[in-house]
């Protein structure tokens, strides 16, 4: 299982606003897929998927502001148990 972390997206901001997830829980994702759209104080951009597998759990929802380094989702194999 891979924890997906909100990356640091700029030198002046340590948080990002999640605009939209492009996949829903249970969907198959591949490394390099655009996973979600985020907005910082300076730009709007897509965060790419860093692993292949099933999007097991979305921890940080759309319309939420998240600090860089925060776990936002989990990707793994079907049936894996996600940490609380």
Q: Indicate whether 9 pLDDT > 80.
A: no
Distance CA 50, CA 5 (A): 10
Share of the chain above pLDDT 70, in %: 95
CB atoms within 10 A of CB 81: 10
pLDDT at residue 42 in the model: 82
Annotated domain spans of the chain: 2-76
Residue with tokens 């897929």: 33
The model's pLDDT over 14-44, given as tens digits with 9 standing for 90+, comes to: 899 999 999 999 999 999 999 999 998 888 9
CATH class, domain 2-76, is: mainly beta
- Strand segments, DSSP code E, in the chain are 2-5, 15-21, 28-29, 34-39, 44-48, 53-58, 65-67, 71-76
C-alpha distances out from residue 74 to 6, 40, 43, 64, 80, Å: 12, 22, 25, 17, 10
How much of the chain, in percent, has pLDDT values that exceed 90?
Answer: 81
Q: Which pTM value belongs to this model? A: 0.91
Provide the pLDDT for residue 12.
Answer: 66
């Amino acid at each position: 299982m891979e924890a997906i972390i909100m990356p640091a997206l700029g030198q002046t901001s340590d948080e990002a606003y999640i605009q939209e997830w492009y996949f829903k829980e249970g969907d198959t994702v591949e490394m390099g897929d655009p996973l979600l759209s985020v907005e910082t104080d300076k730009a709007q951009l897509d965060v790419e998927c860093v692993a292949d597998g099933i999007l097991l759990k979305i921890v940080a929802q759309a319309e939420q502001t998240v600090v860089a380094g925060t776990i936002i989702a989990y990707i793994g194999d079907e049936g894996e148990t996600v940490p609380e």
